[in-house]
Amino acid sequence: MGANTSLSLQILLNRGAAHLIENFGSDELKATYCERMYSGEWTGTMCLTEAGAGSDLGEIKTSAVKQADGSYLLSGEKIFITSGNHDLTPNIIHAVLARTPGAPAGAKGLSLFVVPKIRVTTDGSLGDPNDVVCAGIEHKLGIHGSPTCSLVFGNSGACQGFLLGQEGQGISLMFQMMNAARYEVGIQGLSIAAAAQQAALAYSRERLQGRSFSNKKADAPQSPIVQHPEVRRSLLLQASYVQAMRALVSYTGWCMDMAHVTKGEEHDRWQGLVELFTPVCKAWCSDWGFRVTEWALQTFGGYGYTMDYPAEQYLRDCKIASIYEGTNGIQALDLVGRKLRMQEGRPVKHLLGLVAEAAQSLASDPILASSAQQLASAAKAMGTVLTELPARENGMMLTVLNAVPMLDMLGHMVAGHLLLQQALVAKAKLAALLQERGVAAEDAAAVRALLTESPEAAFYHNKIQVAIHFAHRGLPLVAAQAVALRAGETAPMDAVL
Ligand SMILES: Cc1cc2nc3c(=O)[nH]c(=O)nc-3n(C[C@H](O)[C@H](O)[C@H](O)COP(=O)(O)OP(=O)(O)OC[C@H]3O[C@@H](n4cnc5c(N)ncnc54)[C@H](O)[C@@H]3O)c2cc1C
């Protein structure tokens, strides 16, 4: 995803569309499409958005009318469809949300259909085109390698589609694809940020400007910018957020696996965390991933603003992650409206308990104690906001108004917690390496020599520095936002906009 976001999008959506057919299609549909999609012979799309139905999918107008043979005729226009048309593969398989005649208004009236670009004959070979026409391709800020298409279905009254599941189940079935895609769009934010941060670090080691902090004499040689404290601060902040995002998506992946292999209450506990973390992975990683690309571009100075270096492309490519698959505003509403309340709030209470306990267990750690203190303050601030805000007289409005900062607070708290857990592991690994090499931890010069000579030792050392930096620069944002939220300020609702 970091190396080629556009190409990875194609793969992400193809897998998601094939998975829908695998889980909800008839045996015939599975036999016709799944293997050829999973193998990459054909690709897939997700077709939800229409001009009047973006965040509000209940407004979808595309229609699907059942035919005597059990198939449906579709008619309507979709916009912004990723990989909606291209020449990379001979067929494209669209997963389309549409409305059957007489279906209830809103999202509950939607059904899900498989619509091939080229019809497939009974022997599996490609037949006639299926009346799906690409009416245009968007000119965009980034992901220029990804064709974002307007598609017209059934302009000549001959667009054949096949139902997945039952009529009316469309939106709930589509959530299988959307939840996976939301998680993966979070990984997209992480991946592009990681690529940008790596490019910035490499550049900072080569670019010579100014004199080193410790030798400012005019005749001293120019130093690589990586030696300047301000550049180092930015580079470590970039690394901190990249590792924070990676920790969050990795831990969420672990929760998914645990939910998959457990049953009963234990399953509910892991699944609760998966559902809680899905909008946080999507929104927190895409928002902070974008900021990391901005900081990385700054490391390049004027060269970052040119197309001679990749920094500007990372920034442009990353922005879309906060917009598609449900904007980050919609993710935040999902968090406060559904995820915090599900299972009577048990998942979030469980999480707050875990974090507070972890902070407590590090309270007297010689290296991590002050970071643990920051974590404890963040958890306390988060807990207070979650109980206090909804209980106010205007609690519902305050919660909706502040959904985005609440998601941001939760993302910081969880990521800070996970980075400290990683730092604990890194500390033990580094101590073992020092012992193995016969280096005393108190001998600063010998430790520094080992860090310079051993990439492994430097890796563990940096894991600890990253956790400490995030704890002191990222985690205090939780308490700061709690101050703003608890003040109950409602100017955006009072302003004339
Ligand atoms: C490059 C690209 C690729 C895309 N790929 C696909 C694809 O493959 N398939 C597909 O179906 N779609 C795709 N989309 C569409 C994308 O998912 C939508 O753009 C997105 O869901 C937002 O819809 P919208 O653009 O209509 O914005 P709107 O829904 O008009 O939102 C505008 C703003 O209002 C806010 N807003 C809207 N409603 C509310 C509300 N109820 N409460 C609070 N805030 C609200 C939003 O957060 C946003 O900030 C793609 C879009 C782009 C740009």
In a domain, 38, yes or no: yes
Half-sphere exposure of 160 (CA within 13 A, CB side): 14
Residue 216 has pLDDT above 80, yes or no: no
In a domain, 494, yes or no: no
354 CB under 6 A from ligand 1?
no
Is the domain of 329 the same as that of 240?
A: yes
- The protein residue with its alpha carbon nearest to ligand 1, atom 24, reads 54
In a domain, 233, yes or no: yes
CA-nearest of 243, 241, 215, 242 to 228 is 215
Structural domains of the chain, count: 2
Is the domain of 274 the same as that of 351?
A: yes
Position 214 confidence tier, pLDDT thresholds 50, 70, 90: confident
| The ligand 1 atom nearest the CA atom of 45 | 8
Residue 485 has pLDDT above 80, yes or no: yes
Give the rounded distance of the alpha carbon of 207 from its chain centre: 32
pLDDT of residue 179: 94
Mean pLDDT of 340-353: 93
Range of the structural domain that residue 409 is part of: 176-212+222-486
In a domain, 334, yes or no: yes
Q: What is the mean pLDDT of the chain?
A: 97
- The protein residue with its alpha carbon nearest to ligand 1, atom 52, reads 80
Q: Tell me: the pLDDT tens digits for 104-162?
A: 999 999 999 999 999 999 999 999 999 999 999 999 999 999 999 999 999 999 999 99
Mean pLDDT of 465-493: 97
Q: Tell me: the pLDDT tens digits for 266-314?
A: 999 999 999 999 999 999 999 999 999 999 999 999 999 999 999 999 9
CB 104 within 8 A of CB 79: no
Is the domain of 361 the same as that of 289?
A: yes
- The protein residue with its alpha carbon nearest to ligand 1, atom 4, reads 80
Is the domain of 298 the same as that of 257?
A: yes
137 CB under 6 A from ligand 1?
no
Residue 213 has pLDDT above 90, yes or no: no
CA-nearest of 44, 20, 322, 7 to 177 is 20
82 CB under 6 A from ligand 1?
yes
CA–CA separation, 329 and 202 (whole Å): 34
CA-nearest of 209, 213, 348 to 275 is 348
pLDDT of residue 217: 84
In a domain, 493, yes or no: no
Q: Tell me: the pLDDT tens digits for 226-245?
A: 999 999 999 999 999 999 99
- The protein residue with its alpha carbon nearest to ligand 1, atom 6, reads 81
Is the domain of 75 the same as that of 188?
A: no
212 Cβ contact list (under 8 Å, min separation 6): 220, 223, 227
Model's pTM, two decimal places? 0.97
Mutate to test the pocket of ligand 1, among 43, 55, 330 (most ligand atoms within 8 A of CB): 55
Mutate to test the pocket of ligand 1, among 324, 331, 404 (most ligand atoms within 8 A of CB): 324
Residue 124: CATH number of its domain: 2.40.110.20
CA–CA separation, 74 and 96 (whole Å): 9
Give one DSSP letter per residue of 323-381, joined into a string.
Answer: TSSS-HHHHHHHIIIIITTGGGGHHHHHHHHHHHHHHHHTTT-TTTHHHHHHHHHHHHH
In a domain, 35, yes or no: yes
Please identify every residue annotated as catalytic. 325
149 Cβ contact list (under 8 Å, min separation 6): 80, 81, 82, 83, 84, 85, 134, 135, 136, 137, 138
55 CB under 6 A from ligand 1?
yes
332 CB under 6 A from ligand 1?
no
Is the domain of 122 the same as that of 9?
A: yes
Residue 386 has pLDDT above 90, yes or no: yes
